[in-house]
Amino acid sequence: MLTGMAIFLTKVLVPVVIIYANTEDKKPVISPVPVDGGTSLSLNLGASASSGERMNDFVFEELNPDFNSAAHLESKTRHKDDLPKYFYLTIPKLGIEDAKIEVNSPSLDPREALGHYSGSCLPDEDCNVFIYGHSNYTRSDEADYKYNEGDYSYIFKDLDKLEYGDEFCISFEGKPYCYIVEMTKVENPKDVNPLEEPMPKSLGNHENTVQLFTCTPSGTTKYRLSVVGRLVKQ
């Protein structure tokens, strides 16, 4: 009996206590509580978000132009007066074709179309185009979800699958602009500046870039993912 108790203590009870001690202060990124009929998951961010936050209520508040109003207003002066309402994004690897991007989008909750950040460049200008979209988490039976026309809640769910050398294209005013992925980066929301050069200065000056921006991991609002593409000379 004593031998059995010793085995139980050393092989079962002690390891369980150790595991609990090492994990009790860690909070999950994704809450196990489903919302909206189970089609998405809520997020536990501790002090950084209310316990009732849901993905359906989320907006990219860090993109509020007031955070950098001087640069925002200066940048806006570059834009033309006769802009189209939309341009279009195609990412073959992710099954995205001709997704709408609203020019100078007034919404930080891009549910009807992807957002082009007001004040960032347009594809026919020699600087960075900043495009943002949602990456809400899907149910397990929708793990192979692909973008369908008009559904922008999940459109950037698989953006993290893009790798160096992958291609995506933009159609702006009927002209194609194609880009090769140069880099990806993950940031805290407070560190995001949609008007700054996305490429590190150590890599030199880069013109004609596009920054695709969303939350990561998919279904959470904890961090931000940017995929940066460089224009392929035509």
pLDDT 10s digits, 95-112? 999 999 999 999 999 999
Q: Tell me, what's the pLDDT at 142?
A: 52
Q: Tell me, what's the pLDDT at 79?
A: 58
Res. 67: pLDDT tops 50: no
Kindly give, in sequence order, each residue whose CB lies less than 8 Å from that of residue 186, ignoring residues fewer than 6 positions away: 216, 223, 224, 225, 226
Q: Tell me, what's the pLDDT at 58?
A: 85
Closest CA to 122 of 193, 183, 208: 208
Q: Which domains does the chain have, with CATH numbers?
A: 28-231 (2.40.260.10)
pTM of the model: 0.71
Q: Report the relative pairing of strands 209-216 and 223-231 from DSSP bridges.
A: antiparallel
Mean pLDDT of the chain: 74
* Runs of H (alpha helix) within 14-96: 14-23, 69-76
- Token digits of residue 98: 């001709």
Average pLDDT over residues 169-192: 95
pLDDT 10s digits, 184-227? 999 999 999 999 888 887 666 667 999 999 999 988 899 999 99
The pLDDT-based confidence of 234 (bands split at 50, 70, 90) is low
Res. 21: pLDDT tops 90: no
